[in-house]
Amino acid sequence: MTTQNRGTALITGATSGIGAVYANRLARRGYDLIIVARNRHRLDLLARRLTDETGRSVEVLAANLNSRGDLSRVEDTLKSDSSITMLVNSAGMCALASLLDSDANKMEEMISLNITALTRLTYAVAPGFVARGTGSIINISSVAGIAPELLNGVYGGSKAYVLSFSLSLQHELAPKGIRIQAVLPGPISTEPSDVGGMTARHLPPGIVMTAEDLVDAALTGLDQSELVTIPALADKDEWDRYEATRRGISTQLSRTEPVAPYSVKH
C-alpha cells in the first residue's frame, strides 16, 4: 500500500483477468481507479475489496463497450475528469476458431470491442492528456498481432491494429509528454482464454502465463519506458532488431516507378 496519489487510472475489462490484476496493482501503486466492465455486481465487489485493502477511491462504471450509448458515457468520463492520468485499454475478445468455423456477427462484435472501442476511448482521453502535458495509455495487444498465423485471423488482425495504433500514438504523442505502451501477451490463464472452445488447460503448460505475472512484467516495462512489452520474449534485442528492420523497410516503400520485377516495358 502507498499513500502517494498518482491520479486516477481508468481500466476497461476490469472485473476479470488482465484488467482485474491491473486494478489491483495500480491501486497498490497509489492510483485511484475508475473500473469499467459490464457486470455491475462484480464491479461493486471489486471496488469494495480494493478500497478496503488499499484505501484508494474506486469508482464503478458499468458499461458494455459494444453499446454506443454505454461507450459514449465512458468517453464523456475520460473527457471531463481531469484527475485521470492513465487509461488501460484491457477489454477485449479472443477467438480461436478458423475463418470457416467462425460466425461473422461474432467477428464484427470482436472488431467493435478490440478496435472501435479502444480507438474511441483513446481519442477521448488524449486531448486532455496533451493539454496537461502528462498521461499514460496502455493498450493490450497480443503476440497474435505479429504472428497472425497462430490464431483466428480476425483476432490477430484486431491485435495488429492495436500495435500499429500504439506505434502511431507514440510517434505523435510522446513529444507532448504522453507515455504509450503496447503489451503483447501470449496465452494467459484468464477467462477470455475460454472463448473459442479452448481453455488454458488444453495448451502446453510451458506457454501459458498467469495474468498476475503478465501485468507485473508489463508494469516493469512501463517503468522502463518501453513502447512495446512482450513478457515472454527472452531476448529483447530480438524485438529491437525486428523493429529496426521494419523501420528500415518503411523508408523504401515509395517510388515514382515500380521496381524490377514489377516494372513493365511498353
CA–chain centroid gap for 55, Å, is: 26
Give dist(CA 63, CA 113) in Å, integer.
12
Give dist(CA 78, CA 72) in Å, integer.
10
Query: What are the residues facing 36 on neighbouring strands?
Result: 12, 61
How do the pLDDT tens digits run along the chain, 266 residues long? 555 789 999 999 999 999 999 999 999 999 999 999 999 999 999 999 999 999 999 999 999 999 999 999 999 999 999 999 999 999 999 887 888 888 999 999 999 999 999 999 999 999 999 999 999 999 999 999 999 888 888 999 999 999 999 999 999 999 999 999 999 999 888 654 443 334 555 666 678 899 999 999 999 999 999 999 999 999 999 999 999 999 999 999 999 999 988 988 76
Residues classed as catalytic: 155
Q: Give pLDDT, residue 198.
A: 43
CA–chain centroid gap for 118, Å, is: 8
Tell me the whole-structure pTM to 2 decimals.
0.92
Q: Give pLDDT, residue 150.
A: 83
Q: Give pLDDT, residue 86.
A: 98
Q: Give pLDDT, residue 208.
A: 86
Give dist(CA 222, CA 99) in Å, integer.
35
Q: 29: phi > 0 → left, psi -120 to 50 → alpha, else beta; which?
A: alpha
Q: Give pLDDT, residue 91.
A: 96
Q: Structural domains in the chain?
A: 8-250 (3.40.50.720)
